[in-house]
Amino acid sequence: MKNWLFLSVAIISEVIATSALKQSEGFSKLTPSLLVIAGYAVAFYFLSLTLKTMPVGIAYAIWCGAGIVLISLIGWHFYEQHLDLPALIGIGLILAGVLVINLFSGSTAH
């Protein structure tokens, strides 16, 4: 059960870091730049803890998939970045893939 908590922290930290990356404007702003570095450090640390009990391919697929979906939604909502129908369909398929892994795969339980 701890592996899911660790993976959730890794995903949230990565999403925060990636959002701050946009705000850092090419690392020209100090505070967002520091948030990027700290966020990715926390994300990779907790991902490494997750990998002690979960296969790397499964953990990485969930981490990336959830991150892509969340960052796309943040970009759409906070940065007013337009998502057209093909983008929304693609994001939906990524989300569906993450759900299939979580709900039906026995590979996540180790």
Domain count, the chain: 1
- Determine the pLDDT at residue 104: 85
**pLDDT value, residue 102:** 81
Rounded Cα–Cα distance for residues 3 and 9 (Å): 10
Range of the domain at 19: 2-108
Across 16-49, b (16+ Cβ under 10 Å) vs e yields: bbbbbbeebeeeeeeebbebbeebbebbeebbeb
User: Residue 96: is its pLDDT beyond 90?
Assistant: yes
**pLDDT tens, position by position, 67-92:** 999 999 999 999 899 999 999 999 99
Kindly report whether the global pTM for this prediction surpasses the value 0.75. yes
CA angle 18, 22, 25 (to 5 degrees): 135
* Structure confidence by residue, pLDDT tens digits, 1-30: 799 999 999 999 999 999 999 899 999 999
